[in-house]
Chains A and B, each alone.
Chain A
Amino acid sequence: MTALRRVTPQLLTLAALVALVTLFFPDFLRIEVVNGRLVGPIMDILKRGAPVGLLAVGMTLVIATRGIDLSVGTTMAITGAVAAWSITQGYGLGGALALALLAGVLAGLWNGTLVAIIGIQPIVATLILMTSGRGIAQLVTEGRILTFSHDGMAFFGSGDLLGIPAPALLWGLTAVAVALLMRRSALGMLIEAVGVNRAASALAGVNATVLLIAVYVASGLCAALAGIVATADIRGADANNAGLWLELDAILAVVIGGNSLLGGRFSIAASVLGALIIQTVDTGILLAGFPSEYNLVIKAGLVLVILVLQSPNLAHHWYALRRAAQARRERAMDTAKETGQ
């Protein structure tokens, strides 16, 4: 119940956006079954939104600890390159997935160590990998666009299961699994505690260092999944462009999800909805037929409106207005009673 209330603003925003796009593009909500798979703008959004959605899951945890992970876009490039390279080397699907995920874990361990043990500020610590990581990815691809043809791998980009696109499934399942893990175990609360007050949490016996490293590893793993999806989608690894700027979309998704950059309380569901909102804006602008040069401006405008509407200040004013109205009503009743006597 409270969980539903938490994501109400995001749900409302999404509904409003869908209504808006439908105005311009009436077929927006139409879903057809073609060759046993569901096809339509909505399915397209679910599929295209997968990378940012996956990144947002990990980013939510990092931000909950008062951190930030700027390296996820780059990690996508690295892990995508590793996956493509492994396939071309003939390690098979299992090997490729394992190595890509391992690369994601290593990226996370690197970030986590810099932040939790060495004590570098997260924004700086992850900037190191963000800027240097594409070089690593280029080393893996030897500077080329490394293409492959492997149906098993391609499944993660363009396959489908029970009619649903594989990337959408992967994204949804990851979000549900992580959210459940957080709330069914004590991880969620411990992460929030560390994010709000690391010193106090450590004094209470919380293993803050390990938790911090763990969230960066989780973020690396999510980036690896996103990297696999991106590589599988184009059947190749592009070290220069894979995941480019997606860290910013992921952060935006978390923020639209109403999670504070100051750490603490977090909601994975809300972040994932945030990612959906971003993708709906992106796709919606295209479908509505605006010239593509307007895309970024319209997107920026919409995001601004969404953030303003969700800002706590506005909520505060709203609360104050309601209280004032209530006080006026009470006073009116009092005077009514007095004059009645």
Chain B
Amino acid sequence: MLLTIRSLTKTFPGTKALDRVDFDLAAGEVHALLGENGAGKSTLIKCLTGAYERDEGVIALDGATVSPRSTSEAQELGIGTVYQEVNLLPNLTVAQNLTFGQEPTRFGMVDRRAQRRQAEAMLEGYGLDIDVGRDLSAYSVAIRQIIAIARAVALSGKVLILDEPTASLDAREVETLFDVVRGLRDRGLGIVFVSHFLDQVFELTDRVTVLRNGQKVTTERTADLDRVQLIEHMLGRALENEVVGHAKTHVAQDRPELLAFENFGRRGHVEPFDLTVGEGEVLGLAGLLGSGRTESAELMFGLAAAHSGGARDQSGALDLSSPRAAIAAGFGFAPEERKEDGIVADLSVRENIALALQARRGWARPVPRAEQLRLADEYIEKLDIRTSGPEQPIGDLSGGNQQKVVLARWLAMNPRFLILDEPTRGIDVGAHAEILRLIQQVTAQGMSILVISSELDELIAVADRVIVVRDRRHVAELTGSEITTDTIVRAIAAPGRDQAEASV
């Protein structure tokens, strides 16, 4: 075995995150580490790389016990890691980020030219066309993710650990990554792969280890398992009617109109579009990363001012000049970037859920504590948020559970029009189904929802209408039986056909 972990235990105040976990990684294998949100996957990785101090347990690399005390010590041992929350430095250049800690030097100074060359070499094969001399902050999350991966790959001599690396990548980028990973595997590296996309697990990995509530449930060869068994291992029960894959019965319905956007657009963000939203309707927004999906949402929520057009409801024109104005108009927006735009890390789960509600009521009328607690308890239960209690700081929750809290914040507002940008990113299969069910439930009560998602299955499962965005234009609108993977993929890809479809 390349890497063996025995009896790894880690306790946080109020939670036993890992309970005597054993884990083996062979050279030349891709090993999936799976489990529900909060099962302990990221904690296992952080204990392994020394980012967290473990309570107990033995780690051996190539037969020798090791005990890295920090990520950089782990790197020296040949363990490269991409953590779930990308931790690069946005104010440094791409090249500086890539070579951080081992900058090429010349006469004791950083050799900029060599640094550039080295960085460009590291990015070769990932199909990125970017300037490594620019600040990292100039690039999207997906690109940052790939840069983090490239950095970890270059640093990993023996072991590469990827914690949900594909969460913000699109299908093409995932394929590129997988090719890289397979190449490394063939070179004899051991690779740990964490993901909630089970299709990817079946496609890429050789073995699977499942954690549940901090304990190891099983390790098996991927080929010996099927999807249902795997889910049972993860949840400890069968998943009653998994929503994904069971498409909604798409009957085009006549709904009373709630909102209408007319000629709504902003130069450089998204070209003017018309869009009506029906009461209780679920709209899907499909398209590649950077196609203008998020930009459309930001425009609707007042994060950027529209240059043309406007929005109105039954009673007249709406002011959408700022998020506050949009919220006053009954809008809500759960953003894609949960760490930067979603969570307020030091505040408790309770406060994070109550935040938007409190902002709407104004500072002088605090939401009574009992009411905050009631809301927190309600959503902890409804969304199955794994937390030691409503007073736990949200920053201590696992990634998927943080995402659930951000969703809870907006559901608690009960807006009439809720925009969800990648609502299920990082969320496990069980909770995924739960959230899609919840979307159906609240829309049945009259809320209208716009879902932006890279997972077509998800859109097909919940959307009444799908808008396809390409090159910052709304190029197609699919309704009823038109909503299939095939038609969406074709609309996303179709080059030169936009003239015919641009009637939207």
Contact = CB atoms under 8 A, between A and B. Distances in A.
A265 B375 CA distance: 22
B358 A189 contact: yes
Contact of B333 (A184, A203, A207): A203
Contact of A204 (B53, B55, B359): B359
Nearest to B351: A189
B330 to A, nearest CB: 12
Contact of A320 (B53, B301, B345): B53
Interface in A190-219: 190, 192-193, 196-197, 199-207
A298 interface: no
Contact of B346 (A187, A196, A202): A196
B358 A196 contact: no
A339 interface: no
A203 B341 contact: yes
Contact of A193 (B11, B335, B355, B360): B355
Contact of A206 (B53, B346, B359): B359
A260 B14 CA distance: 24
A193 B324 contact: no
A199 B342 CA distance: 8
Interface residues on A, range: 20 to 34
Contacts of A187: 363
Contacts of B366: 184-186, 189
A207 B324 contact: yes
A204 B301 CA distance: 11
B120 interface: no
Contacts of B92: none
B182 to A, nearest CB: 38
A189 B365 CA distance: 12
A189 B360 contact: no
Contacts of A186: 358, 361-367
Given A193-B347, A196-B346, A206 B355 contact: yes
Contacts of A189: 347, 351, 355, 358, 366
Nearest to B303: A203
A192 B55 CA distance: 32
Given A264-B346, A265-B346, A327 B359 contact: no
A185 B355 contact: no
Nearest to A206: B359
Contacts, number: 79
Interface string B287-309: 00000000000000101000000
Interface in A231-247: none
A22 to B, nearest CB: 37
Nearest to B410: A204
Interface string B326-367: 010000010100001111111100010001101111111111
A323 interface: yes
A205 B360 contact: yes
A151 B349 CA distance: 53
B188 interface: no
B327 A196 contact: no
Given A189-B351, A193-B351, A200-B341, A205 B346 contact: no
A266 to B, nearest CB: 11
Nearest to A263: B346
B341 A205 contact: no
B345 to A, nearest CB: 6
Interface string B312-334: 00000000000110010000010
Given A186-B358, A201-B355, A193 B344 contact: yes
A323 B11 CA distance: 9
A261 to B, nearest CB: 13
Given A205-B359, A207-B359, A185 B346 contact: no
A197 B333 CA distance: 16
B105 to A, nearest CB: 31
A197 B352 CA distance: 11
Majority secondary structure, A binding face:
helix
B409 interface: yes
Contacts of B359: 190, 201, 204-207
Contacts of B24: none
B85 to A, nearest CB: 13
A200 B358 contact: no
A65 B351 CA distance: 17
Interface in A296-330: 319-320, 323, 327
B56 interface: yes
A133 B333 CA distance: 43
Interface in B353-394: 355-356, 358-367
B367 to A, nearest CB: 7
Contact of B358 (A190, A203, A320): A190
Given A190-B358, A190-B359, A190-B363, A205 B324 contact: yes
Contacts of B363: 185-187, 190
A199 B340 contact: yes
B181 to A, nearest CB: 33
A199 B324 CA distance: 13
Interface string A170-182: 0000000000000
Given A186-B365, A327-B56, A202 B343 contact: no
A174 to B, nearest CB: 19
A4 B346 CA distance: 20
A197 B323 contact: no
B475 to A, nearest CB: 28
A189 B344 CA distance: 11
B340 A200 contact: yes
Contacts of B356: 204-205
Given A200-B340, A203-B333, A185 B324 contact: no
A197 B324 contact: no
Contacts of B301: 203
Given A196-B346, A197-B345, 11 more contacts: A186-B365, A190-B358, A196-B347, A197-B340, A197-B343, A197-B344, A199-B341, A201-B359, A204-B323, A204-B356, A205-B359
Closest 4 A-B residue pairs measured CB to CB?
A: A205-B359, A186-B366, A264-B346, A204-B356
Interface of B: 11, 13, 53, 55-56, 301, 303, 323-324, 327, 333, 335, 340-347, 351, 355-356, 358-367, 409
6 contacts: A184-B366, A186-B367, A187-B363, A200-B341, A202-B323, A327-B56
